[in-house]
Each structure stands twice: as C-alpha cells, then as structure tokens.
Amino acid sequence: MGGILSKLLIDISFVGTAYCGYQVQPSSPTVQQELNNAAKKLFGFDCDIVGCSRTDSGVHANHFCATVSQKGMESLPTSIPLEKIPSALCFYLPEDISVMSATWVRDDFHARYDVKYKEYLYCIWNAKQRDPFLHGRAWHYPKHIDDNALEQMRLAAKKLEGTHDFSSYMAANSSVATTVRTVYKTDVYREGNAIYFKVSADGFLYNMVRIFTGTLISVAEGKISVDDIDKITEVKDRSKAGITAPPQGLYLNKVVY
C-alpha cells in the first residue's frame, strides 16, 4: 500500500450519556467536538479528526478509533513522543472520554472506510430492581427472561447471520446507498442479572443493533418466533420487526482494521 506513516490513529473509550452522539453538531455537545478542542490545545492548530463510526445520542464505546491530522493536510506534524500523546490528550479531555493508545498510520489511511468489521455489545439489566451503577449504561428490563427464552433469543440472533438486505432493521426514513450488510457472528449470553447481545458485521444501518435487540426482546416475550426472523428479514418492512431498544445499553465494542 502507498502512503507514509504520518497520520495519527487513536483508540478511544467514552461514556456517551452527556453527548449527542460522536459527530459534531451545532450547539450540541459531542465526542468529536471534545476531541477537536483537546487536539487543538495539545498540538497548537486545528485538526481534522475522523471517526470510525457515527454513534447515536447516549451510546457508549469501549473501543472507538479516530485519525488525527492537521486541518487541510493528511499528516500530523508534532514533536511530542508517540507514547506521551494519549495521556497528553486526556489532560484536555473530560473524564468521560479517554484516549487509550495511539499509533502512526499511513497518510492515506481512513478510519471509517478501512474498517474490516465492527462489533457492538448491547447490555440489558434483567432484574426487578434497577442497578444505580448502570444508570444510563444499560436497558433496565424488569420482566424475567428465563433460560428457555434466552435460548430462543440466541437462536433468533443466529438467524441474522449472513449477507442480507437488512431494511427491516433500519430506522424508518433512513437514506443509504445500499441496505445489504454481512453479519459475521452473533451471541446472546447472561452474566448474573445482565444479558448481553453481541454482534459483528462489515457495517451497520442506522439503529440496526438497537432494532435487532428490540426484536430479540419480542422473541423472549413470545410475540415473535425464531422462525419469524427469516420472514421479517425477507419482507424488508421496518414495521414487522421489534421496537428500537433505548440507546443507553449500546456499546461499540471492537473495531478491526
């Protein structure tokens, strides 16, 4: 591949509760704006910060990647040692955003378009009483999901694997060039009172994981059967799938280049 190692790739974690998503928006707090502010203070000039994905308001990231370059350029001129950059950026960031590591990448590297696959994790707190330590970080679903219902959710999730037109699991009125995506792997499992839905794919439509999750809850409730999943996918009709699960349980969990 062409290019020289002159652009910075940072690995970020953030709690999205206080932000209107990742991407800069007028008059609204966003993760990207905080990164822009921190980078300018550290490097002394405006930077272009390109994220690996967009996230909705209230969505979190265990692992989020972004490139940093001087505005209008494809490189980042700096004399700051690479190993010191994460801590230096963190000094200027709020406590709910952290830069975990940094590495140099080619000047033609793109944080979004060079992604091989992404993995999302959705957390459901399945207990009668809410957990205050998970406030804003999980979907509190108080109706008990027993082992049989959990297995039905797992089987239904497996039906989503493969290459499909996922129009039925995309927010209404969304506009994209193609609604075909490849889901590589899914899993549904329990850890104590928490139920996790994990899914990896080459790309995701708007609200796709949250609609997947809402559909799996409908399976647990007996409103949708495992066999219905194929039909819901085939009809390409958003109204046939489950509800859109709330954003606070969703985490971008892994980004692979």
Please name which of 28, 162, 163, 18 lies closest in space to residue 93, comparing C-alpha atoms.
18
Please pick, among 56, 107, 114, 230, the residue that the annotation labels catalytic: 56
Rounded to whole angstroms, the Cα distance separating 13 from 253 reads: 9
| Token pair listed for 19 | 């932000």
Name the phi and psi angles at 116, rounded to 5. Answer: -80, -50
The residues pairing with 223 across neighbouring beta strands, listed in sequence order, are none
Q: How many residues does the chain have?
A: 257
3-state class (DSSP) for residue 106: strand
Q: Is 159 left (phi over 0), alpha (psi -120 to 50) or beta?
A: alpha
Q: How far is CA 52 from CA 19, 120, 148, in A?
A: 17, 13, 37
Half-sphere exposure of 98 (CA within 13 A, CB side): 9
131 is an active site residue: no
Burial of 114 (C-beta count, 10 Å sphere; 0-12/13-18/19+): middle
Distance of CA 83 to the CA centre of its chain: 26
Rounded to whole angstroms, the Cα distance separating 30 from 23 reads: 6
Residues designated as active site: 56
